[in-house]
Amino acid sequence: MEEFVSRIATNVGVDPALADKAVGMMLGFLQREAADGPATRMIEAIPGASELVAKHDGED
């Protein structure tokens, strides 16, 4: 997950902390709003994704 967030930050040209927050919030949104099951299984399958959701879930 760390490499993924770093690549996003580099490619988009934003601070890594902002990319970290954005990815965590997007994954959290998917987990809350998508059909039960598929999004949660995807997040659980990506190393570090669950922790990132927990870190940024509920932030504005």
Question: What pLDDT is recorded for position 3?
Answer: 94
CA distance 55 to 39: 17
Question: What pLDDT is recorded for position 59?
Answer: 59
Whether the CA torsion 7, 10, 11, 13 is positive or negative: it is positive
Yes or no: say if 24 and 46 are a contact pair by the CB < 8 Å rule.
no
Please state the pTM of the whole predicted model: 0.85
Question: What pLDDT is recorded for position 18?
Answer: 96
- List the Cα angle 52/19/42 in 5-degree steps: 40
Question: What pLDDT is recorded for position 60?
Answer: 56
Yes or no: say if 3 and 48 are a contact pair by the CB < 8 Å rule.
no
| pLDDT, block means (10 residues), the chain with 60 residues | 95 96 94 86 94 82
**Encoded tokens for 55:** 């870190």
